[in-house]
Amino acid sequence: MEQDLALAVMAALAHPTRLNAFRLLVRHEPDGLPTGALVEASGLTQSTFSTHLAVLAKADLVLAERRGRQQIQRANIGTLRALLTFLAKDCCQGRTELCEPLLADLACC
């Protein structure tokens, strides 16, 4: 992941509504959630939430797919993985023992 893309992804997540929506989608992988469920969870109107959803989609954090009459939103785990790799790539100057607590935290969840 290039720095400019990493900054765009982090900027998209730098709002409570978008961060909460993305975290909710991550918890519901691989099935995703209908857009209406995301709107309801946010407590916002459909039009206000759709603006936030568009920011997440533009940053490639959310993927939409149609299932019948429903629009299902899914977290793009590939983008999440790329961001985390970008952030941790040079972790602790190659001293993996310093990053092991981070990996342990991820493994427990």
CATH of the domain at 55: 1.10.10.10
- pLDDT bucket at 108, cuts 50 / 70 / 90: low
- Look-up: residue for tokens 């990053």? 99
How many CB atoms sit inside 10 A of residue 19's CB?
14
Respond yes or no on whether the N-terminal peptide bond of residue 30 is cis (omega within 30° of 0): yes
63 and 77 Cβ atoms separated by less than 8 Å: no
From first CA to last CA, the distance across the chain in angstroms is 25
What range does the domain containing 104 cover? 3-108
Q: What is the pLDDT of residue 16?
A: 97
66 three-state secondary structure = strand
pLDDT digits (tens, 9 = 90+) for 39-76: 999 999 999 999 999 999 999 999 999 999 999 999 99
- Look-up: residue for tokens 């997440």? 56
**What is the pTM assigned to this prediction?**
0.87
